[in-house]
Copies of this chain bind each other. A is one copy, B any other.
Amino acid sequence: MATDFPEDLAAGYGRYLQKGYVRFREAQERLAIYGQRPEVMVISCCDSRVTPEGVFHVGPGELFVVRNVANLVPPYEETEGQHGTSAAIEYAVKVLKVKHIVVMGHAQCGGVRAFRETANAPLVTGEFIGRWIKLLEPAAIAMACMPVDKLDDPQLAMEYAGVRQSLKNLRTFPFVDAAVSAGALKVHGAWFDIGSGELRVMDPETEKFEPCLAAGADDT
């Protein structure tokens, strides 16, 4: 075949066939016939270091996954235009009727960094990125109002603020809000530390990010 498909990817796919597919074969055959019924949607970053299926160690059929730059949820908008993330949220809530939506931020997020570096400069990184990460503006405003002790790691502070804002935006979708109010859907914030593998989860009352596993929990 006159294709120049990357050899590394083809080789990786070969390993998948021998390992991953063999392991999940029955599940995949069943999923192909009966369709997917994931109970969880994850909104995560495109970052190559953050794979939701990896972090939650799940096989096929478990997570409905949106990945965009900086794991952002736009606010509900009735304007024209193609809203990819909004479409995915609508599909997850209305069609798949997922029970949970997890917005998962992460450390060293390049989208957050681009926002912090370009806010006072021309959008050097380009027209689309610049406009997309404008969605972080409310998070930046929230962060600017934090007490000083929260600002010793401004990159982290904005990563957290970004997740909080995305959760707020999620609730602006009438069908999300209705499902949450009816108790049929829960929304969660999370944050993943690439280097240490630590996952933190947002406490919905305090809006603080706490370790997902209590101390000692990881040795059970």
Interface residues of A (CB under 8 A from B): 1-6, 8-10, 12-21, 25, 28-29, 31-33, 35-36, 38, 40-41, 46-51, 53-58, 60-69, 72, 74, 78-92, 94-95, 99-100, 102, 107-108, 110-111, 114-120, 125-129, 131-135, 137, 139-148, 151-154, 158, 175, 186, 188, 190, 193-197, 199, 201-206, 210, 212-214, 217-218, 220
A-B contacts, 30 of them at CB < 8 A, read: A1-B214, A3-B201, A3-B204, A4-B186, A4-B188, A6-B100, A6-B188, A9-B100, A12-B56, A12-B57, A18-B218, A28-B49, A31-B49, A31-B195, A32-B193, A48-B63, A51-B53, A67-B88, A78-B127, A79-B81, A83-B131, A90-B128, A90-B129, A91-B125, A94-B125, A95-B129, A140-B141, A143-B144, A144-B154, A151-B154
